[in-house]
Structures are given as C-alpha cells and as structure tokens.
Structure 1
C-alpha cells in the first residue's frame, strides 16, 4: 500500500436490523483508500449507501464488520476515549442540508465554537472568539456576522458556516456529504471552488459524496461508483469519464447534459429499465443484473469480484472477469 495513504477501508459492511427477520444491507463489503491531499468522489443513485459509508467512517454508525485505518491506526469501535477524541478531531463532516444541520437557537459564534470547546478546552475565550473570526473570513463571511442566527443567512452562507465549523478543530480529512445538493446552481460552483481552495491551503483530504457527476469530475482526483451498497467501479476522474467499463457507470455518464446541442443529439442515451431493487432483499449474483442491458447468464448466479482490469481501474463486472479478457488492444470492450 502507498505510504501516502491517509485512509484505508477494507471490507466495510453496515447492516441495519429493521426487525427479527428484516435486515437492510446498506453497505456490503466496500474497500478503498484515499491518499493524503486527495479527493475521492463517491457517486451513485439515492439510497445506494454513499452517505452511510461516510457516516460509518466517522463512527457515527458502528460498522457491522470490516476494518477502517486512519493514519496507519485501526479504528475498532466508537468509545469515548482519548484515542477516539483525537480521531474525531482529525475527521470532520460537512452535511448535505445547510438548514437542518445548524442549531437555529445558537449564534454563528456558538456553532463554530462547539468543536473548539470540546477539543481545545484550555483555549481562552478571547482566543476562541478570534479563531471563530478567522474562520468566518476564511470561508468568505464577515466578522460582523458572528452574532447572527442561522435563519438570517442564505443557503450558501449557511453551508459556509458548516464548512467553518468542520475546519475549527483543524482536521486532516473531511467527509463532504452532498454539500451542494440543496443549493442553487449558481452557488454550487462557489462552494466547490471554496472547498478546493481550502484543500490547497490546508492540505485537506476529502471524500466528496455527490449526485452531480459533472461537479464530481471537477473536484475529484479519483471517482468510485456505488450501486445498491457495493462499489462497482473505481478509477481516476479522467479515466472513468473517458472509458467507463461498468454498464451502470456508462448509463450514469450518458445522463450528463452536454453544452453542445449537436453533441447532445449525436450521443447515445442509455435509459435503464426497471426499478432499483430493495436493499432488504438484494438480487443474487451481480446486484445490477436485473437492470443491466449487457447481462449474461452468470450475472444472476455468481457475485463478480472487484478486479483491476486496467492500471488503477477497478470494476466489479463479469464482462471483465479474467483481468480484462474482453478488452481489445485499444482497451475497448469486445463482444461476448
């Protein structure tokens, strides 16, 4: 493993027991790593388990099984120890909804100060207040806004407050859980550009969870695609967009609007048939086979293996079961 790896996840599984005979398989056997200073984009349909992965990494959910290693140390459980406290100060989260994630009864100063009070209790009140002011300016807000309440801000401004709160304890890793989904399109680019600038300034590492595939490409170094609780493809941003291998990834990318009307008319739009299966009772074999236009007999019977079929390009698909046996000399898929 690369020594620059900050976060390593192996066989992460998170199931929710709904009743004595019903289990929601939110995340199943997910493995990946993120290097120091890198952004890994995580994409997929609603309900595929993206947010559950992020929350489990931060121990907001205790994993059912699997191993999470951060900065070389294994995080085994969520206990209120000094070790866990140090871990949570290094890993923070930016939430999707800038409205519900901020306490309406607290001022901006109080919201941002919470982490400082918990993790730096010896910090004098004056120093803490000055730190809050610095953070507000860092995320593009004014010191004069420090004593206002969340309802006095727009959605984009509230998300900036959420970013300042996450930065308060000086983390090295941030889970950005769809931080632009609830914002106007004109504001989304501002927030993404702010995150990228903060990453450069503070050498941050991101797990960036999102639906907007064009925005994910803009911010991410590598992109992982999830479907029904499992990772099905992982590659660099440029590689994934130029050469998607999994049929589900192809369908997702075909839905991205193109600015050129002629290109939009010329390209093939892949429309998936059927509904997303129930994660309580997922299909056998490949979980995508019930909607896959390229499914073959084995897909419904045997679970495919997450395989590196091109350099640093992994896919979980029977079409590439023998290390790229279905790729020609130009790395294009041949018929089966």
Structure 2
C-alpha cells in the first residue's frame, strides 16, 4: 500500500452530558491512511465519522488511543514550531459552505488567513498573486477576491473553502461531507475538482460522507461506521461487490440502480427499529438490536476484528 501518512490506533472519544452521563461518539476505532489515497468513511448521521475528522484536526482531544501523522503523535505536546508545521500539513473542508466562511470577511481575506498567520507571503503583491492563483485553480475568477461569501452560490462557496484549504499546500485534507449541502449537479463538479487536485498535487484525503455512490466513485478504500464503531474496512471495489457485515449489506441495498428492471427485482434489506442511543449503547455487538441475522453470542459478546481476506476486515461474529 505504500507509506502510511495517518495512523489511528484504538481511538475513543467521550462527551460528558452531565456528571453521570457520557456520550460515546467513537469507540476503539483503528485504521491507517496511506499517502496519495482517498480513504472514505461512511455511515448514518450520528455514527461518529465527523468526530473522527475533528479528532484528526485536533478540534477535539481524544479520550483514549493515539493518532499519528507522518509518524508523530498529533495529540502529544510539541514545540510551537512543530505545532505550526503540523497544522500547515493538515487542512479541512467543512460540510456547510454557508456557515464555514466568515460573512464579514472578503474572499481574499478568507483564503489568505492561513498565509497571514504562518507569514508565508512577503508583501501585498505576493499575497494577491497567491490568492488569484488559488481562485483560478478552484474554477473562480481573480476579480472575485473582493466579494463577500453571501454573493456566491453554495457550490462557489465550497470552492472558496477548498481554495482556503489549499493555501498552505497541505499533504492531507479532511473533507467532512463537503457535498451534502449542495445540489446534485454541483456535487459531481466538486468531487471531480477534488480528484483533479489530488492528481496534480499528490494529496491524501479522508472523505467523510453518507452518499455511498459518491464514496465509491472517489475512494480507494472505505470504512463503514455504526454507532461509534468501525464495522467493516476494505478496498472500494471489494466492499461494494462483496460486502460482509449485515449493516454494510443493508446500506448498499439502499443505493438505487439506474436500470429500473433490476431495481424492481433486487432484494432490499429494510432494517427494523431505531439506532440505539450512544449514551447507552447495547451490550455485545452494537448492531444486534437491528441485525436480521443475529445470533445469541451477538447479544452478550462484542465481536473482534477478523480479516476475511487480505485487506478486507470485518467486526462481526458471523466470520469468527
């Protein structure tokens, strides 16, 4: 697979609701992201995928476990210079292009904020040239630099967010549901832009989404999350053709097929019940209350990771 860029090892994140109750957003999650790849992370709303993105960016601190970037533990204490360098190499594209851009700042100031903080431009001329270059890279015009976010459409605002993320020339970008707030026609444009930038700049992505069809298109490997747990991990083609976990099978059965005849005849897996509360998760396998093929062991014992075939790992008693 090549060089590991990101290593997530047994990471857990709790949020305290009050003195007695805690919400387990992420529970004992481990995976690696290799240099130059796109790692997709999918699951229903509230499964913990966005929390993982924020843990990687150190917007949250881990409750337990370790996260390494280029071999360095990002949650360990470092010198100010090392901290600055780390933040330059990792950037984030946020879900909502309407709330992630400061409405009081011009596009120029939004994109150059990182450049100013890290003092990466020598003068105003160099600053403007860099901004204009970034705007053109993401498909906007240099004259857009003096406009404000409210003057742009959702797709254009997300392009501004991408330009901001590129300004510091990062190695790794976390895209936290970057297309979910956009129209379907614009979603494809943004995803194609991300793919082009990856090819041109050798970027590595963590692509967080709940649109399974889009994740298949952009990702090299995919991890599936359910109620704070990573339940399956495999190469994209392998996962979509041979899903193993009952939850993954249910998710994939919900993707509509373009051929109406095939769509009418194929079996859809309808999950019963609601997602349990992360404040009080079920015993044993977290999916067992909704699983159509659960066994007695699933209720009382938590499953362990099983590598069914090389690179295809699943958290399920059916394969142990």
TM category (shorter chain) comes to over 0.9
Question: What residue number does 2:204 align with?
Answer: 205
Quote the offset at 1:122 in angstroms: 5.3
Question: What residue number does 2:57 align with?
Answer: 58
Cα displacement string for residues 167-197 of structure 1 (whole angstroms, at most 9, x for unaligned residues):
0000000000000000000000000000000
Quote the offset at 1:301 in angstroms: 0.6
Matches of 1:134 and 1:60, distance apart in 2 = 29
Matches of 2:186 and 2:90, distance apart in 1 = 25
Quote the offset at 1:74 in angstroms: 1.6
- The DSSP-based 3-state class of the residue aligned with 2:178 is coil
Matches of 1:189 and 1:127, distance apart in 2 = 33
- The DSSP-based 3-state class of the residue aligned with 1:231 is strand
- The DSSP-based 3-state class of the residue aligned with 1:290 is helix
Deviates more, 1:67-76 or 1:109-118: 67-76
Question: What residue number does 1:192 align with?
Answer: 191
Question: What residue number does 1:93 align with?
Answer: 92
**Contact 2:172 2:205 (8 Å CA) reproduced:** yes
Aligned positions of 1:130-279 closer than 5 A:
130-279=129-278
Deviates more, 1:214-223 or 1:118-127: 118-127
Question: What residue number does 2:310 align with?
Answer: 311
The yes-or-no answer on 1:38 pairing with 2:58 is no
Cα displacement string for residues 237-282 of structure 1 (whole angstroms, at most 9, x for unaligned residues):
0000000000000000000011000110111000000000000000
Matches of 1:284 and 1:196, distance apart in 2 = 41
Change (3 A) 1:122 1:139: closer
CA RMSD for the aligned pairs? 1.1
The yes-or-no answer on 1:23 pairing with 2:22 is yes
TM-score of the aligned structures, taking structure 2 as reference length: 0.98
The yes-or-no answer on 1:105 pairing with 2:89 is no
**Contact 2:213 2:255 (8 Å CA) reproduced:** yes
Quote the offset at 1:55 in angstroms: 0.3
Quote the offset at 1:130 in angstroms: 0.7
Quote the offset at 1:310 in angstroms: 1.1
**Contact 2:61 2:75 (8 Å CA) reproduced:** no
Question: What residue number does 2:294 align with?
Answer: 295
Matches of 2:160 and 2:79, distance apart in 1 = 27
Matches of 2:242 and 2:183, distance apart in 1 = 30
Quote the offset at 1:118 in angstroms: 1.1
Matches of 1:123 and 1:80, distance apart in 2 = 24
**Residues paired across the two proteins, number:** 320
Matches of 1:77 and 1:107, distance apart in 2 = 35
Change (3 A) 1:315 1:177: same
Quote the offset at 1:88 in angstroms: 0.9
TM-score of the aligned structures, taking structure 1 as reference length: 0.93
Question: What residue number does 1:116 align with?
Answer: 115
Question: What residue number does 1:126 align with?
Answer: 125
Runs of 5+ consecutive residues of structure 1 not aligned to the other structure: 322-336
**Contact 1:59 1:77 (8 Å CA) reproduced:** no
- The DSSP-based 3-state class of the residue aligned with 1:28 is strand
Question: What residue number does 1:12 align with?
Answer: 11
Change (3 A) 1:209 1:314: same
Quote the offset at 1:297 in angstroms: 0.2
Cα displacement string for residues 89-140 of structure 1 (whole angstroms, at most 9, x for unaligned residues):
1000000000000000000000001000112355322111110100000000
**Contact 2:5 2:33 (8 Å CA) reproduced:** yes
Question: What residue number does 1:332 align with?
Answer: none
Quote the offset at 1:82 in angstroms: 1.7
Quote the offset at 1:24 in angstroms: 0.5
- The DSSP-based 3-state class of the residue aligned with 2:146 is coil
Runs of 5+ consecutive residues of structure 2 not aligned to the other structure: none
- The DSSP-based 3-state class of the residue aligned with 2:61 is coil
Quote the offset at 1:76 in angstroms: 2.6
